[in-house]
Amino acid sequence: MIDLSVEIAGIKLKNPVMVASGTFGFGKEYASLFNLSKLGALVTKGLTLHPRPGNPPPRIWETPAGLLNAVGLQNPGVDFFLSEILPAMKSFEVPIIANIAGFTIEEYTQLASRLTVPGITGLEVNISCPNVKAGGMALGAVPELAAEVVEAVVKATSLPVIVKLTPNVTDIVALATAVTQAGAHSLSLINTLLGMAVDVNSRRPALGNITGGLSGPAVRPVAVRAVWQVSQAVDVPIIGMGGICTSNDALEFILAGASAVAVGSAHFRDPLAAVKIIEELEQYCIENGIRDWKQIIGAAWKGQN
């Protein structure tokens, strides 16, 4: 038997493949396509204290090797999520990690406290969304401010705290070190890269918000580099993400030091992307004589075979 299980900050996953926040809704959109219990974990769409309508359209723009999005954290708010969405999500029988985003430290702490309820197994703190003009970007780009947010969230909840880091900084290792010292139990990296496109026909910015977050295969080398650097600098499990479309993509992250991965934009092209990657990873282990998945985490820099 192949053991694909892994533990992230006390959250036990049956396999290391999660779905990335913002690309999988709240699960029900995919529940008719496959059994969601096959996933390692389900990360919710970003939740804010109050409902948000999001940014003006257009919100999506395809690039040669990825996707620009400027959705702007559209979501129904934490109250609606708790009363109307979470009860149905519990039936999926998969660990649920709530992604939270605030515009002040107080909002983050309120979200963390409100979401510390049965059915939620962990919190992913989004301090890095490049689509929101206030709060998130500034808090996530300055190590001292990021640490302040994380410290407050850790005090407000008994759940494992995963911090999602932005790549739009000069030194992501310094940022990772700061939030880890502040109490983060795990790290997600990377969030999207800040980008822009111009529609040559209208001669105007392609996105209603002008700038957006770049995801997809184009960002993968940046993300793998970030995981490689951060995994050697901190002693908490890392969830790698950014352009994962195949099992080989996922393996790059694992070998570079990630304990688990999250599949995002690939679901827009293939809703079964995460499930296929899980099956392919199991086959990889069989073909390479790997009985315990954990033995290859960080193998690229630990000198393992």
Cα separation, 276 vs 296, in Å, equals 20
Cα separation, 54 vs 10, in Å, equals 33
Angle at 128 between CA 124 and CA 132, to 5 degrees: 115
Q: Are 179 and 168 in contact (CB under 8 A)?
A: no
| Among 46, 41, 40, residue whose Cα is nearest residue 23 | 46
Residue 129 is a catalytic residue: yes
First to last CA, the chain: 20
What single letter denotes the amino acid at residue 288? N
Cα separation, 146 vs 127, in Å, equals 7
Q: Are 22 and 55 in contact (CB under 8 A)?
A: no
H-state helical runs in 182-246: 220-231
The size of the chain, in residues, is 305
- Which residue in 100, 129, 150, 156 is the catalytic one? 129
Strands 238-241 and 260-263 come out as parallel
Cα separation, 243 vs 222, in Å, equals 10
H-state helical runs in the chain: 28-31, 78-80, 86-89, 105-114, 136-141, 143-156, 172-181, 220-231, 247-256, 266-269, 273-287, 299-302
Looking up tokens 């003006």, which residue turns up?
A: 56
Annotated catalytic sites, by residue?
Answer: 129
